[in-house]
Structure 1
Amino acid sequence: MRKLFPTVLLILCGASVKAQSYVGFLTDNYSGVHGIISNPANIVDSRFKTDINLIGASAFIANDYYGVNFSDIFDDDYEIEDEGREFPKDENNLVGNFDVLGPAFMFNINEKNSIAIYSRARTFYNVNGISGETLESLINNLDDNIDFNVNQGDAYGSANAWAEIGATYARVLMNKEEHFLKGGITLKYLQGLGTAYARGNDLTVDFDANEIISGAGEVTTTGEVAYGYSENLEDLDDIDIETISGATGVGVDLGFIYEWRPDYKEYTSTDSKGKTYMPKDVNKYKLKFGLSLTDLGSISYEGIEERYDFNNTLSQNDFEDIDLDELERFYTALAPGDASKAVLPTALHANVDWSINKRFYLNLNTDLSLTAKDKVNRSRVANVVSLTPRFESKWFSFYSPISVMQHSGFQWGAGLRAGPLYIGSGSVFSVLLGDKTKGADVYAGLKIPVYQSRPKDKDGDGVLDKVDECPETAGPEENYGCPWPDTDGDTVLDKDDQCPEEAGEVENNGCPWPDTDGDGLLDKDDSCPQVAGPQENYGCPWPDTDGDGVLDKDDNCPDVPGTVANNGCPEVTEEVQKTLNEYAKTILFDSGKSTIKEESNKVLADIVSILNEYPTAKFKVEGHTDSAGSARLNQRLSDSRANAVKTYLVENGIDQFRLSATGYGEDRPIATNKTRAGRAQNRRVEINLVKE
């Protein structure tokens, strides 16, 4: 047992496994086929047409019992048991993992579907619940023959190696404006390459050393022990990793990724048939959320478990020399339990990626184990939270993950991708700068990346050839990359031309100006476009306001009906002339004076009314007297009376330019002056039409 316990317990304290691989690299949108490791949905809508992995490996080791100064381990005389700092606890853990991704490729079938095929070899070993006091006692005190007592309680551990052949299918599930969702599934065939596990329940070891006679002490053990291993691990000095007949299984990975794309319009082009296109060579999200379940499954092994009742008291010599094959000599064998399946390290992965801009990103990732640590033969990942800033471009990426890992604590690392090469470590800085490093990892590999090509724009018009109806000729986006035509050659583009088939005027939106009324004057210049009219009247017909048959343009009296002969004005007939003079002869004046008597106002008003009916006619007011008195006096009196009548008529609305006044004295009698009656007729006023 002295040979057995240090070996078994050192393996057991290997772990509560932290088996995350390629730390930092998997956050890169250009991780390609590696993306299926954390989430099978990663490969669809990828930045690759195809990505071929040649070989890649990731190794990790960590513990919470020993802390070392990394620079010391290169000394030739370095001994971890002597140089390392010990951190014993009730439960100490060691972590180890090795992951090889062999030939693998992913291929984008189209914008909505992608596939991947990969080969992979993995080893996990994990143990939890090993007391630091137990380790110190069994490693040190047995050699010193000092009494000691160990109360271990329960401890579990396992180591598993297997190969995978996997097939992944991923598809875009939703692409609706700013919302984008994709999902993926990986089915994998598992081939076991070896398994080993150990379990102890309520274990105690009470060593009563004999100080006088070496080797005469006694060791009392209690509890229950179970262990098992595949046949290729029988000889720990010559472990042979090989395929084991019948040790097979299946596994499943499931994943979904949601992308929030608030600027989706910047990436969306539409052709004339309404089909949309988004360039494949750029990331389009502002925030990306990923959720996945990995490693659902197990590998079945046959007949590998043995169980023993560990209650017995042995001599020190028997205890120190006992081997696994001899346990049944000292302990009672029990019926085997159910440890025939090596359960995969099922885990939940949650991921948030923030695109700060087109080159810089910040990623928050957490891995949570979904396998119980107190069950037999189960691999498990350690819980971890990582924050990874990164610079990302097509041919080069750099990232620096900062992680808090279960058991091993804080880690800080860096990695890069340069074309076909990827290399890095999630712990390089914490290893180099720390003086009590408890964990380290490293990864590297080569691949053949075939990136999505940048969309072409041959004519440089900003419209991608994919949606450009005229890829060789520059044109605006709103016309799908084609120049706007000018079918009728009137310099007004068809898009703005309301008459694209007929040459027209720019001012009339590409249409010729019409002449609706056919009067020879275009509507734009026609004040009456619906009614024919002469150009000199701006396309409107001349009016005849008074309806006398003489157009207003020729009508000297457009508002008063007249005759054509008198240019549209009413004519003064002989009858009217007679009426005027009859009225005029009744105008009464004060005796020997030119003042008009008040009783003549009625007659004068009638005269005014008649004159207003003939607005363009001119009249002459004539004054006459009889022969009584001197001729000179009569002349003066007749002239005064004629002007008095004119003044009255002007004051009552008759245009003065239509009137003239003249006195004729006694020169034009119409009767004899020898009789009173004759003289009365000669004393008169006449209003006569002036004929031009």
Structure 2
Amino acid sequence: MKKIVFAGLVFASCFSYGQEHFSGFSSSRRVGILNAGANPSELANLFRTVDVQIFAFGVDASNNKVGFSDLINGENLEDLIFAGGEAVDFDVNTQIMGPSVGFKAFGWGFGVASRSHIRANISNVNTELGDALTNSALNSILGSSTISNSENQRITGTVWGEFALSAARKLYDKKNHQINAGISLKLLFPGSYANLGMSAFQGTITNTAGDVRLNNAAAQVNIAYSGSLANEFTDAGDYFSSLWGGLNGVATDIGVDYQWKGADNKYKLKVGAAVCNIGSMTFKDDNNATRTYSLVVNDSNPVNGLGLDLNQFESIDGLRDIENILIANDGTNGVDFNLENESRDFKVKLPTILNLYADYQIISKLSVTLFMVQRLNDEGANDQILSQNMLSITPRFTTGMFEGFIPVNFNEVSGTTAGLGLRLGGFFIGSNSILTAVSSDSKQADFFIGSRFGIL
């Protein structure tokens, strides 16, 4: 199971980047189509009559175990990940924005955008269980350990594309006050998916001279897969080869913003709110499956070679391998692995979030933005794409051609990070964590880059 557990780490080490996409730039005072990704009402505030996004790319990797210096110094990452009693959390989130356009016409703001998403997550995995499955409990002393975890331990990967149609309009614009509202309709194109969930897990892991067994155990196990992630979970090519599937889902973003303007008709304060990703997509493929099993291991004598042999999982590649091993062990050595329900096609909910932000102009050309992302769905559900809660504070210096900003992020998984971003004309580049990565033991790394231009 090593390759699956380390899927997030593989992405993190390959990309060496990671947290909230385009942080600082998605709230730029030079409003473009990219801003509409955080709140569709921003299309009513377009800086130019036409805004063309040529491309934008962002990748975020965050975790609660491995620091940036550990990667640089070549530390044994497996030892670090499974050290201590805190459950393991990894989140790798990549977004690729294709050619997109926003424009103003007939008193409205409109937008057409295409995006591809790649997400790999490890959530709430018990360190002792993860160690036993990946390393034959090499980090553990000989003996036994009893685990009880009522939460759902999940390993997931999701790939999908979306095509967004957006519209916004001013609802009120008098004197120094303006109110806008907007909506986006997203057409979803699910690519591939994999989920391993183990809820209500309890059992005893015994390590006898490298013979690692699970006894007196019970758990609910969900195994779901579709597309290229069914057989292999860690090959980056499998993620990028299935960015767009067939049209099979819809989602909605709804947002509003308020502006208090000064004598020059530019806002002194802007406050916005949006609920994004309200919807789900259905995965359909020839190899589709979602199954829920009950796992019970009754035998309590590992010394005699009974119970579930965990060494079998050490070098597997995909969810089908896990499922086949458990099925093969059913009825032997006290192991009962019973199918409770299954279906071929299945729905997966998008990570519904609430975006709240406020941008205040302190003096001419200098402003500060407060941005919050709050998860609204249950992250423990097997049919839910994971997301993180985040708060950022971004001081910003803006002129006509230049913009510089320093996003300071507070993330529930990786903690506090600080980064740097720049815009020169329509080109922008930045990172939410570069400053803390080079100055401290940051557990997050990220990078974003893009180019756009405006007309009129």
TM-score, structure 2 as length reference: 0.83
3-state SS of paired residue (1:415): strand
- 1:11 Cα shift? 4.8
Deviation at 1:222, TM superposition (A): 2.1
User: Alignment partner for residue 286 of structure 1, among 268, 285, 301?
Assistant: 268
Distance 1:11 1:311, change over 3 A: farther
What is residue 444 of structure 2 aligned with on the other side?
439
Structure 2 letter corresponding to 1:124: R
Q: Does 1:126 align with 2:132?
A: no
2:327 equivalent in structure 1: 328
CA distance in 1, matches of 2:156, 2:345: 11
Equivalent position amino acid for 1:105 in 2: V
Does the CA contact (< 8 Å) of 2:31 and 2:46 recur in 1?
Answer: no
**Letter of the aligned partner of 1:48 in structure 2?**
R
Which amino acid in structure 2 is aligned with residue 321 of structure 1?
Q
1:87-122 residue CA offsets vs partner (Å, 9 max, x unmatched): 634433112100011101111225x31111111101
Aligned ranges 1:473-552 → 2 under 5 Å? none
- 2:104 is matched by which residue type in structure 1? N
Deviations 1:459-508 (A, max 9, x none): xxxxxxxxxxxxxxxxxxxxxxxxxxxxxxxxxxxxxxxxxxxxxxxxxx
Q: How far apart are 1:151 and its partner, in Å? A: 1.1
Cα contact 1:162–1:191 (8 A) shared by 2:
yes
Whose strand fraction is larger, Structure 1's or Structure 2's? 2
Name the structure 1 match of 2:425: 419
Residue of structure 2 in register with 1:356 after alignment? 362
2:147 corresponds to 1:165: no
The structure with more helix, counted as a fraction of residues: 1
1:67 maps to 2:67:
yes
* Structure 2 CA distance for partners of 1:14 and 1:352, relative to 1, 3 Å: farther
Q: How many Å separate the matches in 2 of 1:107 and 1:288? A: 21
Equivalent residue letter for 2:222: A
Q: Deviations over 1:343-363 (max 9, x none)?
A: 111100111111123311111
Q: Which residue of 2 aligns with 1:366?
A: 372
Give 2:277's aligned amino acid. Answer: D
- CA distance in 2 between counterparts of 1:50 and 1:245 reads 30
Q: Secondary structure at the match of 1:30?
A: coil
* SS of residue paired to 2:88: coil
What is the CA distance between 1:180 and its match in structure 2?
Answer: 0.5
Does residue 306 (structure 1) correspond to residue 291 (structure 2)? The answer is yes
Give the secondary-structure state (helix, strand or coil) at the position aligned to 1:424.
strand
- Write out aligned runs for 1:223-238 (5 A): 223-236=219-232
Paired residue type of 1:443? F
Query: 1:207 maps to what in 2?
Result: 205
Question: Does the Cα contact within 8 Å between 1:342 and 1:378 map onto a contact in 2?
Answer: yes
> Who is 1:81 aligned against?
78
Per the alignment, residue 30 of structure 1 pairs with: 30
Confirm or deny that 1:43 pairs with 2:43: yes
Structure 2: where are the runs of 5+ without partners? 12-17, 300-304, 314-320, 331-336
Question: Quick check: 1:36–1:43 contact (8 Å CA) kept in 2?
Answer: yes
Alpha-carbon distance in structure 1 between the residues aligned to 2:110 and 2:77? 46
How has the CA–CA distance of structure 1 residues 152 and 63 changed in structure 2, closer, same or farther, with 3 Å as cutoff? Answer: farther
AA in 1 matched with 2:78:
E
TM-fit CA distance, 1:12: 8.4
1:19 positional shift: 5.9
Q: Pick the aligned partner of 1:148 from 125, 138, 144.
A: 144
Counterpart position of 2:248:
248
- Is 1:175 the equivalent of 2:157? no
Instruction: Quickly say closer, same or farther: Cα 1:178–1:327, change in 2 above 3 A.
Output: same
CA separation in 1, counterparts of 2:128 and 2:66?
13
What is the match of residue 391 of structure 2? 385
Query: Conserved in 2, the CA contact under 8 Å of 1:360 and 1:389?
Result: yes
Aligned mate of 1:91, from 87, 96, 112: 87
Q: 2:179 corresponds to which letter in structure 1?
A: L
CA distance change for structure 1 residues 186 and 317 in 2, over 3 Å: closer, same or farther?
Answer: closer
The residue matched to 2:363 in structure 1 has which SS? coil
C-alpha distance in 1, partners of 2:196/2:81? 27
Alpha-carbon distance in structure 2 between the residues aligned to 1:208 and 1:439 = 34
Q: Flag the 1:8–1:73 CA change in 2: closer, same or farther, 3 A.
A: closer
Q: Is the 8 A contact 2:64 2:443 kept in 1?
A: yes
Displacement of 1:13? 9.5
Give CA-to-partner distance per residue, 1:624-675, whole Å, 9 cap, x none. Answer: xxxxxxxxxxxxxxxxxxxxxxxxxxxxxxxxxxxxxxxxxxxxxxxxxxxx
CA RMSD of aligned residues (A): 2.8
Cα offset, 1:380, TM superposition: 3.4
Instruction: Give the Cα separation in 1 of the matches to 2:243 and 2:419.
Output: 35
The CA distance in 2 between the partners of 1:40 and 1:254, in whole Å, is 7
Q: Contact 1:384–1:404 (CA<8 Å) still a contact in 2?
A: yes
CA contact (8 A) 2:31 2:47 kept: no
Q: What TM-score, normalized to structure 1?
A: 0.56
- Maintained 8 Å contact 1:339/1:376: no
1:171-213 deviations in whole A, cap 9, x for unaligned?
A: 11110112200111111111011111121122234234444xx
CA shift in 2, pair 1:315/1:431, >3 Å: same
Segments of 5+ residues of structure 1 without an aligned counterpart are 268-283, 453-692
Structure 1: 4+ residue segments shifted above 6 A? 12-15
Residue-by-residue CA offset, 1:390-424 (whole Å, 9 max, x unaligned): 01122110000112111211111110110121000
The alpha carbon displacement at 1:125 in A equals 2.9
Instruction: Verify the 8 A CA contact 2:44 2:109 in the aligned structure 1.
Output: yes
Q: Residue type of the partner of 1:233?
A: L
- Closer, same or farther: CA 200–44 of 1 in aligned 2, 3 Å: same
SS of 1:356's equivalent in the other structure is strand
- Cα drift, residue 443 of structure 1: 0.3
Distance apart, 1:20 and its partner CA: 2.4
Structure 2 Cα separation of the partners of residues 73 and 218 of structure 1: 32
Q: 1:13 & 1:376 partners in 2: Cα distance?
A: 21
Q: Give the Å deviation of 1:140.
A: 4.1
Shift of 1:247: 6.3
CA contact (8 A) 1:250 1:297 kept: yes
Distance 1:104-1:59 versus aligned 2 partners, 3 A rule:
same
- Tell whether the 8 Å contact from 2:32 to 2:43 is kept in structure 1 after alignment: yes
Question: Is residue 2:277 matched to residue 1:295?
Answer: yes
Q: CA deviation at 1:321?
A: 2.2
CA 1:356–1:178 in 2, change beyond 3 Å: closer, same or farther? same
Q: 1:19 to 1:410 in 2, by over 3 A?
A: closer
| Contact kept? 1:201, 1:223, Cα under 8 Å | yes
**Which of the two has higher C-alpha Rg?**
1
| C-alpha contact 2:396 2:404 (8 A) present in aligned 1 | yes
Query: Is the CA contact (8 Å cut-off) linking 1:21 and 1:58 kept in structure 2?
Result: yes
Task: Tell me the alpha carbon deviations over residues 150-185 of structure 1, each in whole angstroms, 9 at most, x when there is no partner.
Answer: 414232343211101111111111101122001111
Q: Do 1:92 and 1:129's aligned partners in 2 also have CA atoms closer than 8 Å? A: yes
Aligned 8 A contact 2:289 2:344 in 1: no
The 1:85/1:380 distance shift into structure 2, 3 A limit, reads: closer
Distance in structure 2 (CA, Å) of the matches to 1:316 and 1:244: 43
Quick one: percent identity of the two aligned structures?
22
Q: Give me the whole-angstrom Cα distance separating, in 1, the residues matched to 2:10 and 2:38.
A: 24
Task: Tell me the secondary structure at the aligned position of residue 25 of structure 1.
Answer: coil
CA 1:209/1:338 → structure 2, altered by over 3 Å: closer, same or farther? same
What is the aligned partner in structure 1 of residue 57 from structure 2? 57
Q: Which stretch shows the higher mean deviation, 128-137 or 180-189?
A: 128-137
Secondary structure at 2:326 match in 1: helix
The residue that corresponds to 2:14 in the other structure is none
- What does 1:557-568 correspond to in 2, within 5 Å? none
Deviations 1:44-65 (A, max 9, x none): 1321121111111000001112
Alpha-carbon distance, 1:32 to partner: 1.1
